Amino acid sequence: MDSAQLSSLFDAHATELAPALLGCELSVATSAGTVRVRLTEVEAYGDQGEDPGAHSFNGKTARNAALFGPPRHTYVYLNYGIHRCLNLACNSEGTAGGVLLRAGEVLQGRELAIERRGGRDTGAKLLSGPGRLGQGLGITLSMDARAVDIADTTHVTPGSHDAVEFTLVPPSAAVNAHQIRSGPRVGVSGTGGSTRYPWRYWLDADPTVSAYRAGRNVPAEISS
């Protein structure tokens, strides 16, 4: 898969894009430096009225507008009043969709990621889970609706005080389809967290992947 093929998947449904992001390398460059990760766990979220687990389910608002396009942009939200979670918007413009980035292996900028995570190196679990990943990448709410450059090689450089650059490149080595697992999304309540939506994707046995946790009030007959 080259950058053109990866870019084209951003015009498709989130469930097509999400597994293709596994193994891709994402760099976030700010004035503080660059952190680059290999994505190992993601979750797909669907369109208005389609996916009860998605922020877009009840329609477009000022807060979730980035989910409605254009694709190839970020969507950042605050979870539990603490965690800044990074998503990549997809689907055709005006049609909502996004992929939550849940975990990654640090390839560059580990010391910066550790500093942002409070100074403690927790090994493979340093950026395991969307809150930790967002923190390690230096994600802020002001980074919502930023363009993501999809390229064949990483070329980001730290910019000025307020500059930020997102670069996504295809996997340096092809990911075997047998490595990819899917299942219910983590911590999503109600039907959206059930096996009707097996829209969490991860690399099997990768140590950076977060632990599964069921959401509240998931119907028992369709829970994992």
What confidence tens digit (pLDDT) does each residue in 34-44 have?
Answer: 999 999 999 99
pTM of the model: 0.95
Q: Judge whether 218 lies within some domain.
A: no
Share of the chain above pLDDT 70, in %: 95
Q: Judge whether 220 lies within some domain.
A: no
For position 76, what pLDDT does the model report? 98
Residue 221 has pLDDT above 70, yes or no: no
Residue 97 CB contacts under 8 Å (≥ 6 apart), including other chains: 13, 14, 17, 44, 45, 46, 47, 56, 67, 71, 89, 90, 91
Q: Judge whether 223 lies within some domain.
A: no
For position 94, what pLDDT does the model report? 77
160 — pLDDT class (breaks 50, 70, 90): low
Q: Judge whether 219 lies within some domain.
A: no
How many domains does the structure of the chain reveal? 1
* Nearest-angstrom CA–CA distance, 193 and 185: 6
| Cross-strand bridge partners of residue 39 | 104
What CATH number does the domain containing 9 carry?
Answer: 3.10.300.10
Residue 216 has pLDDT above 70, yes or no: yes
For position 224, what pLDDT does the model report? 47
Q: Judge whether 217 lies within some domain.
A: no
For position 81, what pLDDT does the model report? 73
Q: How far is CA 171 from the centre of its chain?
A: 15
**112-116, 134-138, 158-162, 166-170, range with the lowest pLDDT:** 158-162
Instruction: Quote the domain boundaries for residue 157.
Output: 3-210
Bond into 71 cis (ω within 30)? no
Q: Judge whether 125 lies within some domain.
A: yes
